[in-house]
Every structure is written in C-alpha cells, then in structure tokens.
Amino acid sequence: MKFEILVSEAGEAVNSSAEAIHLAGAKLLEKDYIQPQYIQACLDREVNFPTGLKMANGEGIVIPHADYQLVKTNSISVLRFAQPVSFGQMEDADLTVDCGILFNLAFATSDQHLAVLRRLFTLFQDSAFVTDCRTLPLSEIPDYINAQLSAESA
C-alpha cells in the first residue's frame, strides 16, 4: 500500500490538543491530501472518541483520524512536540495522556486505515520505534516509518 508521510516539528507553538490536530491537518491540507473539512472532523471525533494512547513505557502517542470520504491521498502527518500535549485517552475518555508525538492518519478507505492502524499499534509496542520517530532527523522519518510498516506486514 502506497501512502505519503509528512513529518514536522510543533516547536513551542502547540499548547492544546486542538492546536496540534490543526497543525498536523494543515500539513496534509497544504499538499491537497485531504478536504478542508477533514481537520474539523478529526477535532469532532476526538471529543467523543479520543485517540491518545499511553504506552507501557509511559510515553503518550495520539492517532487522530476522521471519515475516509474526506481523504484525497493516503497519507500520515507525523507531528513531534517540543513539550508533551495532553489528549484524551483511547481507553477512558475521562482520562488524559501527555503525548510527545502525533500520527494523523488519512486513508481513503476504511480497510486501508485499519490495516495501517493495526501495524502501527504493533510498532508502538516497540519503544525503539517510538524513540526513533521522536529523535531521527525529520528527513529520515518517512522512509523509516515506511520500512517499519513494510517489515511489519511481511
């Protein structure tokens, strides 16, 4: 499965989960990978179905996504935070988790979305994968993630 991966740093500019989702979505929108409504759909979905994950090592990862019908090009916008950003936990919407990295998934079919999500969940269990995504130079991360996803599906 072919898809684009965009990676960016949030810097100190992100102070809320909504700002983080806007920033990650804006990267997809700049490339015309999504329809403009996709960002708001991610924000709306996050209210009732939060996507923050607290990993076994205590690190937080968030995976916002929305309706595949608003996606033009299969893609992931990865956003690294200088300081953790609080998101609702997937397991319990009443709890929050401080996240250091965001993977905004945008796939044109639900089957593609679920296939990548399953592979990412496996990779997220590997603390080295998460550390590499947070520390590798931005330019290396797309190829790294693609290679890891391909290795997972092999």
pTM for this entry: 0.94
Count CB atoms within 10 A of the CB of residue 4. 15
Q: Where are the alpha helices (DSSP H) in 17-109?
A: 17-30, 37-48
49-64: pLDDT as tens digits: 999 999 887 889 999 9
Closest CA to 35 of 5, 2, 72, 3: 72
User: 4-153: which CATH architecture?
Assistant: 3-Layer(aba) Sandwich (3.40)
* CB distance 3 to 75 below 8 Å: yes
101-150: pLDDT as tens digits: 999 999 998 888 888 989 999 999 888 999 999 999 999 999 999 999 88
* CB distance 90 to 50 below 8 Å: yes
- In the numeric block, which tokens belong to residue 94? 């009443």
> For position 58, what pLDDT does the model report?
82
Neighbour-count burial of 107, counting CB atoms closer than 10 A to its CB (0-12 exposed, 13-18 middle, 19+ buried): buried
